[in-house]
Structure 1
Amino acid sequence: MSNILFNNLFISVGIDVGADFSFMSIALPNQTLMGKPFKIIHSDLNSLSMAVSKIKEAEEMYSLESRIFLESTGIYHYPLFCYLRDKGFLVSIINPIITKNSTNINIRKVHNDKFDSQKIALLGLKPDLKVSLIPSDLVLDLRNLSREYYDLMDNRSAYISKLQGELRMVFPQYLKIFSKITVNTALTLLENFTSPDAFLNASKDEIITFIRSTARFGIAYAEKKYNAIIKAANEAKAFGYAVDSNFKRILLYIRFIRQYDEEIQSILTDMHTLVEANEDTEFVKQIHLIESFKGAGFLSAVSLMCEIGDFSAFKSPKQLFAYFGLDPSVNQSGNFEGTKISMSKRGSRVARRVLHTMALINISRNKDGTAKNPVLRDYYLKKCQSKPKMVALGAIMHKVCNIVFAILRDEKEFEIITPEDHQMNYLKARCDIAA
C-alpha cells in the first residue's frame, strides 16, 4: 500500500483488555480499519513485542504518530498500559461507559473482544473524546488499601449478622446486654462459655475475671454485667433452642470477626505509614485539607482523595459531583418526562459511601444537643419540610461535595460560614474587583 500523509492527524489503536489476553485494532484517520484485530497474550513477551512492531509499522507506513486507547477494566489494563507507555507511545484510558454508549459501527448487534477493539479504535478518532487519568503510584497504593478496607468491613458486617442470627436462635437475651455484640468483652465471654448452660455452670469469680480483664470499668460494672448474663442465661432455657452445630458456628463467626479486625487494623496502619512517608507531596497536603472538614477523619479524607485522584482534572463542582455518580439520572423523551429521579450511581461507590457518612455526621448533633454543623443541619431540616428525608440527605451530600471542591480549589482549611456571611464575602470580593 502506498504511503498516505494525513496532516495533523493520528492513527488510533484500540485495545479491548482481558485478564489473560487482549485484542488490538488499528484505525486510520479516515475511519478505515487496518487489517484484522491482533491478539496480545499477556504472558508471552513475543506477542507483546509483535504488538509494538505492528503499531510502529503502521506509523512508518502512513507517516503518522499513534495514540493508543485502552478500556478501563479495574486492574487488568495497568500492566499493558505501563508496558506501552514505557515503549514511548501516547496511551490513554477510556471509561467503559463511554464505549458502551458510543454509536455501534455495525447495524447488527455484535459484542465480542475483536469487535470491541475495533469500536475503541474508531472511538479514539473522535476529537472530543474524554479520557481518564492514570493515578500516581502513591494514589494507586492508597486507593487499593482504601477499597480493600471497605471490602473487609463489608465482609466483617456479614459475619456479624450471621453471629447475631445464631444468638437470636440459641441465646437471644445476650444481644441486649452489651451496646454492641462485637465489643471485646462480649466476644471474649462467648469464646469461653458460648452456651447459656456454660455460663450457668461457671463460677461467678471466673466470669467477673473475664469481664474485668476485657473492660476498662471497675468491679461495679462487672457485677452488673454478670447479673445480666445469668438472668439472660436462665431466660434462654425457657426461650431458645440449639443443637451442637449452632455453638460451633458461633465460635467460627467470632474467629472470622477477629481475623477481619486484625487485617483491617493492618490496612489502616499501612495507610498511615504511606501518608506519613509522603507528607511533602501535594496529594497528602490535599488529604489534610479535607481532614479539616467536620465529619472527615483520616480514613474518609484518604478514601475521598484516592477516588478523586488528580484534582486538577475537575474545573467545577458539578464535574466532581457527576464523577462520583451523584448526578440525577434523567428520563425524558418527547413530551414524556419521568417524575422519579434518582442518582445515576455511575461513579465511585467508595466516594458516595464516604460522602454519605460525612453528610450524616454534619446533620447530627453533639452530646450537648448543639449541631455539629449548624448551617448544614438547618438546611437539612428546611429541606425535610418539603422533601423526603433521603432526598434531603442527597441535597446535603451535594453540599458536602461542593465544600470539598472549594477546600481543594482554594487550598484553605474548612471553616463554617453562614449563608449571610458568605453573601457578604461574595459582594465584598466583587467590589474589590470592580475597584
Structure 2
Amino acid sequence: MLNAVGIDVSKGRSTVAVLQPGGVVIHKPFDVSHNSKDLHDLAHYLVTLDGETRVVMESTGRYHEPILHALSEAGLFVSAVNPHLIKNFGNNTIRKIKTDPADAKKIARYTLDNWTSLREYSAMDTTRTELKTLNSQFSFFMKQKISAKANLIALLDETYPGVNKLFNSPTRPDGSEKWVDYAYSFWHVNCVLDSGLKAFTERYKSFCKRHGYNCQPDKPAQIYEQAKALVPVAPKDSIYKELIQDSIKQLNLISQHVEQLRKKMDELASTLPEYNTVRSMYCVGPSL
C-alpha cells in the first residue's frame, strides 16, 4: 500500500494531507505547528502507517526546514520539490481553489503520480542549503565592503588624492590590499613630502618589509614625485588621521571576513559530486 503525504508549508505551521492511490483519503487535511511536540507526533503517526510512505513538500526558502528535518530524522522518505513543479501539476480545471487543505491534497496527488521519480532528501541537500546561507552572508558583507571602500576613498581624496591607484598588487588571501595598508601609514600627502625623498624611501622600505610586499627600487621616487603634484584640501591633523585609520581598520575587518566566507564556500562546495566537473569547465574558477 502506498501512502502519499502532501505538506503545504507556511511560516510556523503546515497543512498535511494523506492519500492513497485512487484518491482514497487516509486522513482529512490537518494543521501541524512547527514545534518539537507536534512534529514528533506527526513523525510518529506517519511512521506507523501501513505500507510505504513518502512525504513531499515544496521547497519554500527556510519555512519548510523544521518539518523536513524532523521527518527525515525519523527515517521517513522526504522530498522537497520546486514549487513551480507543484504549481503546474494537475491544472486541468477552470476552478481556482487556493486553500491550504486543497494545496496539501494537490501535493499528495503529485506524490502519487511521481512516486518512482521522487528524489529523497539527503546530506547533500543540507550542504546545498548551507551554501545558500553562506552565499547570502557573502553577498551581504560584499556590499558592506564596497560601501566601506567607497567611503575610505572619499576621505582620502581630501588628504591624498589617487592613493588607491598607486599600486596594482592583487588582493591577498586574507583580503588585504597594498594601497589600503599604504594609506594607513601615509594617509596624507605631507606624510610623504615633509621628511624628504631620502627619509620617505627608508620609511617606504620599512613599510614593505613590515607587510611583506615587494619593494621596487624606483617606486619610492615615483610616489614622491607624484605626491609633489597633488593638492590636498584637508589639513594634516589628528581628526583626519583618526577618521582614515579607523575606516581602514573597518574595511580590513570586513575584507577578512569576506575572504573567510569565500574559503568556507569553496571547501563546502568541494564535497559535492558535481564540483570537479564544474571546475573543469573552461573559465570556471573558485569564485564562480
Please state how far the C-alpha of 1:91 moved relative to its aligned partner. 1.9
Residue 227, structure 1, aligned to residue 225, structure 2: yes
1:48 equivalent in structure 2: 39
| 8 Å CA contact retained: 1:123, 1:129 | no
Q: Does 1:177 align with 2:174?
A: no
Structure 2 letter corresponding to 1:259: L
Q: Displacement, 1:121? A: 2.5
Kindly indicate whether residue 29 of structure 2 is the aligned counterpart of residue 36 of structure 1: yes
- The reply to whether residue 209 of structure 1 matches residue 206 of structure 2 is yes
Q: Relative to structure 1, is the Cα distance of residues 130 and 254 closer, same or farther in structure 2, using a 3 angstrom cutoff?
A: farther
Structure that is richer in helix per residue: 1
Amino acid at match of 1:52: A
Structure 2 residue aligned with 1:295: 283
- Is 1:96 paired with 2:92? no
Aligned to 2:183: 190
Kindly provide the amino acid, as one letter, of the partner of residue 165 in structure 2: K
Please name the residue that 1:22 is paired with. Answer: 14
Instruction: Identify the residue that residue 4 of structure 1 maps to in structure 2.
Output: none
TM-score (norm 2): 0.68
Q: Give per-residue Cα distances to partners, 1:117-136, cap 9 Å, x unaligned.
A: 34423332334896455343
Counterpart of 1:107 in structure 2 is: 95
Percentage identity across paired residues of the two chains? 19
CA shift at 1:69, angstroms? 0.5
Q: What residue ranges of structure 2 are gaps of 5+ in the alignment?
A: none
- Partners of 2:43 and 2:139 lie apart in 1 by 42
Q: Give 2:216's aligned residue.
A: 218
Answering whether residue 138 of structure 2 is matched by residue 152 of structure 1, we say yes
Q: Alpha carbons of 1:156 and 1:208: their partners in 2 closer, same or farther (altered >3 Å)?
A: farther
Q: Cα distance 1:11–1:179, how it changes in 2: closer, same or farther (>3 A)? A: same
Contact 1:170–1:236 (8 Å) recurs in 2: no
Equivalent AA in structure 2 for residue 216 of structure 1? N
Deviation at 1:95, TM superposition (A): 1.0
> 5 Å matches for 1:77-88?
77-88=64-75
Aligned residue number for residue 259 of structure 1: 253
Q: For residue 16 of structure 1, report the CA deviation from its aligned partner.
A: 2.9
Taking the aligned partners of 1:140 and 1:53, their CA distance within structure 2 comes to: 23
Structure 1 CA distance for aligned equivalents of residues 4 and 11 of structure 2: 22
Query: CA–CA distance in 2 between the matches of 1:150 and 1:231?
Result: 45
Q: Alpha carbons of 1:70 and 1:199: their partners in 2 closer, same or farther (altered >3 Å)?
A: farther
Cα separation, 2, equivalents of 1:227 and 1:23: 73
1:167 aligns with 2:153: yes
Asked if residue 117 in structure 1 is aligned to residue 104 in structure 2, the reply is yes
| Mapped partners of 1:248, 1:116: distance in 2 | 60
One-letter amino acid of the counterpart of residue 164, structure 2: L
> Greater relative contact order: 1 or 2 (C-alpha under 8 angstroms, separation 6 or more)?
2
Deviation of 1:75 (Å):
4.7
User: How far apart are residue 167 of structure 1 and its match?
Assistant: 2.1
Q: CA offset at residue 85 of structure 1?
A: 3.2
Give 1:186 shift.
0.9
Q: CA offsets, 1:379-407, max 9 Å, x none?
A: xxxxxxxxxxxxxxxxxxxxxxxxxxxxx
Match for residue 362 of structure 1? none
CA distance in 2, matches of 1:181, 1:246: 27
**CA-atom RMSD, angstroms?**
4.4
Whether contact under 8 Å (2:17, 2:108) holds in the other structure is yes
Aligned residues: 274
- For residue 58 of structure 2, what is the aligned residue in structure 1? 71
Pairwise CA distance, 1:92: 1.7
